[in-house]
Structure 1
Amino acid sequence: MLNTVQPLHYDRPAPVRPPAPERLTDPIIATRYRGLSLTSHFQPIFSIAHGRAVGYEGLIRAQHADGTAEPPAALLAMPRNGHECLELDRTCRTLHVHNFARQATGQAWLFLNLNSQYLVSEQPDIGFTRNLLQASGIPAHRLVIEIIESEVSDHAQLKRFISHFRQLGCLIAIDDFGAGHSNFDRIWDLEPDIVKIDRRLIQDAGNSRRVERILTGMVSLLHEAGSLVVVEGVESEHEALVAIAANADMVQGFYFAKPQAHINASQNFATTFDSLLRGQQWKSVKRNADLQHYVREIEGLFRQAVANFASSQQVEQSSGVLFSDPRTVRCYLLNEAGYQVSRNVYAPHYQQQLNARFAPLLCGDNANWSHRHYHYRALKQPGVIQISRPYLSVADSRMCITVSQTVKVGGTLYVFCCDLDWQEQ
């Protein structure tokens, strides 16, 4: 059975004393709200590297007297004004903190959603969270305040509340990033400790290599900003592998664990994450093998082209042998400093596909590609064919692979390059 407390008051902290250590196994606490019984469920958040839960997100659950569930969205829509919204928000946070405190969770974080919109509009006493932590016995450094930054128009007031939580010792997380009107400038400004990627992004990335690359770039950018990254909504092994490939720090979702009232901190997920990491390594090996296989058939033609250029010093004439392969897009020559010293020589079958919208970029004369991996890797390993990873070509805004190799002519070192069209699988 649930321990039931009276509806909570909002002008002072809930009068619940910290539980004694021997009461950690007591039944969870519930409270009443408009005829509903409210209690807490907790969903684990896992560190990929550690293979274990490092935090738990508190989620509200509501039931009618007959035991039927009230959807959380319907519950959160019940308040009629900002003050009532804040009261319900505080009720949920109070329940989560005390239910979390009654369970054995080690040093794990408690992630609490905070309705920042009404926190700003109602401007309540900012001592509520401090008093709640003191009453529960949970140290502030174990509390992660989740904020949806796009909900708040008064950005200055939001920053003041965030500053207050930081002074308490809490961590700050931005929730649902990548949805709606999320902006990276808010990340630079708010400097969150953790950013939670919206579940829709991992779902889309699981179905699209293009979105998967976007996710990877987003995670990298957030890391550069100094934030750890949680990927939410992971519901399949494939999505878990995508999150790992994107270099996320933590994952959360039904694939690992559903929200439960009772936290099982002793449950071992190390085997699950070991298997996922091995799977990701296998995927990386397979992708590299697929790339090598994609290029293997053209390597012989490319060696002929390089040999022809070494003897004739004519890029256009030497490129002709490569154009028998329908994947060939263009050939060009770079000097040792990375400058393009020949015009782009396009395959005849590709000429018709040239997009006039990118005309300012189609001419590569005197462009400098020294920052490109196909140039500096070729110089690092003279005479060895280099194969780039798929990337977006600035010449025509299409995905391509570049095959390159150094060639010495009359004592001068050049890098002969050939771009191949890359169609996403």
Structure 2
Amino acid sequence: MGSAFHPIRELGSGAISGFAGRVRGVAEEDRALPVWTYLDGAASDDESVALDRLCRTLHAINFFRNEALAANTLHLNVHNRLLSAVSSNHGMAFRRILDTLGLPQGQIVLQLPAVNARQNWMLNYVADNYRRNGFRISVKVANALQLPSVLGHARVDAVRIGSLLGAGTAELTQVLAQAAALEVQVLVKGDSPALREAAARTGALVLVQDNARKDNERLVA
């Protein structure tokens, strides 16, 4: 396995705010496919939790031991099967790994997966445990219109919007204003004139993750 780090930039200035860690196969034929593609259906819940933690640890080691990257923030995905499979000590377990390796926990943002309304309690449970162990928390939503629902029930530091489709200036202004009032960062993949106008109106901190291209992806074995 290897780590691919995708730059995250501030909307407007283009300044790098951090990097998103992604798992990739090291073999040339596997580099385009996430390792999870092979393991989603085969791994048990216990194996999924262990692999999820292993991948985050791998990213953290590769990232913070690279002098060109180490001063930045690292965003790490938490796999969706972990939400229903973890025990009550998941945050402590990952914190102890980082402490043992001497890696800076304060520069890590953990991105939790999108959930439906019936799973909100589970999301809050996992997020609260990570937060009590000193991690910053981001939550993914499928589209911009779901952002108010997350902000209404979860304490988060950031929200990642999966798609801007169907969101005009008025809708984005409303949700970005709510995020700005709560000092929540908004991370998107992609850009649009409506997003830029809404960000300018509200003063929200909007971050854009670059697409995976050879000139901005750093692969570390």
Are positions 1:86 and 2:43 aligned together?
no
Q: 1:174 to 1:230 in 2, by over 3 A?
A: same
Are positions 1:249 and 2:206 aligned together?
yes
Query: Which range is displaced more, 97-106 or 213-222?
Result: 213-222
Offset at residue 56 of structure 1 (A): 0.7
What is the TM-score when the length of structure 1 is the normalising length? 0.44
Are positions 1:165 and 2:126 aligned together?
no
User: Which residue does 1:68 correspond to in 2?
Assistant: 29
User: Which residue does 2:219 correspond to in 1?
Assistant: 261
The separation in 1 between residues aligned to 2:198 and 2:187, in whole angstroms, is 11
Are positions 1:228 and 2:189 aligned together?
no
Offset at residue 45 of structure 1 (A): 0.8
Offset at residue 114 of structure 1 (A): 0.6
Note if contact 2:169-2:194 (Cα within 8 Å) is conserved in structure 1.
yes
Note if contact 1:45-1:252 (Cα within 8 Å) is conserved in structure 2.
yes
Offset at residue 39 of structure 1 (A): 0.7
Q: 1:122 to 1:163 in 2, by over 3 A?
A: closer
Q: 1:186 to 1:44 in 2, by over 3 A?
A: same
Offset at residue 153 of structure 1 (A): 4.7
Offset at residue 99 of structure 1 (A): 0.6
The separation in 1 between residues aligned to 2:195 and 2:60, in whole angstroms, is 29
Note if contact 1:194-1:230 (Cα within 8 Å) is conserved in structure 2.
yes
How does 1:11-160 map onto structure 2 within 5 Å?
38-48=1-11, 51-64=14-27, 67-69=28-30, 71-72=33-34, 74-104=37-67, 105-123=69-87, 125-126=89-90, 127-150=92-115, 153-160=118-125
The separation in 2 between residues aligned to 1:253 and 1:62, in whole angstroms, is 20
Note if contact 2:64-2:70 (Cα within 8 Å) is conserved in structure 1.
no
Q: 1:152 to 1:165 in 2, by over 3 A?
A: farther
The CA deviation string for residues 354-389 of structure 1, in whole angstroms up to 9 with x for no partner, is xxxxxxxxxxxxxxxxxxxxxxxxxxxxxxxxxxxx
The separation in 2 between residues aligned to 1:152 and 1:132, in whole angstroms, is 32
The separation in 2 between residues aligned to 1:220 and 1:115, in whole angstroms, is 29
How does 1:199-238 map onto structure 2 within 5 Å?
200-201=163-164, 204=165, 211-232=168-189, 234=190
The separation in 1 between residues aligned to 2:95 and 2:81, in whole angstroms, is 20
What is the TM-score when the length of structure 2 is the normalising length? 0.79
Higher relative contact order (CA 8 A, sep 6+): 2
Note if contact 1:149-1:182 (Cα within 8 Å) is conserved in structure 2.
no
The separation in 2 between residues aligned to 1:157 and 1:111, in whole angstroms, is 21
Offset at residue 93 of structure 1 (A): 0.8
Offset at residue 69 of structure 1 (A): 1.2
Offset at residue 116 of structure 1 (A): 4.5
Q: Count residues with an aligned counterpart.
A: 210
Offset at residue 172 of structure 1 (A): 0.7
Q: 1:183 to 1:255 in 2, by over 3 A?
A: closer
Offset at residue 241 of structure 1 (A): 4.4
Note if contact 2:139-2:158 (Cα within 8 Å) is conserved in structure 1.
yes
Q: 1:175 to 1:155 in 2, by over 3 A?
A: closer
The separation in 2 between residues aligned to 1:82 and 1:152, in whole angstroms, is 22
The separation in 1 between residues aligned to 2:4 and 2:154, in whole angstroms, is 29
Q: Which amino acid aligns with 1:102?
A: R
| Gap regions ≥5 residues in structure 2 | 200-204
| Gap regions ≥5 residues in structure 1 | 1-37, 263-425
Q: Which amino acid aligns with 1:69?
A: D
The separation in 1 between residues aligned to 2:210 and 2:123, in whole angstroms, is 28
The separation in 1 between residues aligned to 2:115 and 2:184, in whole angstroms, is 18
Note if contact 1:43-1:259 (Cα within 8 Å) is conserved in structure 2.
yes
* Structure 1 residue matching 2:25: 3-state secondary structure: strand
Offset at residue 196 of structure 1 (A): 1.2
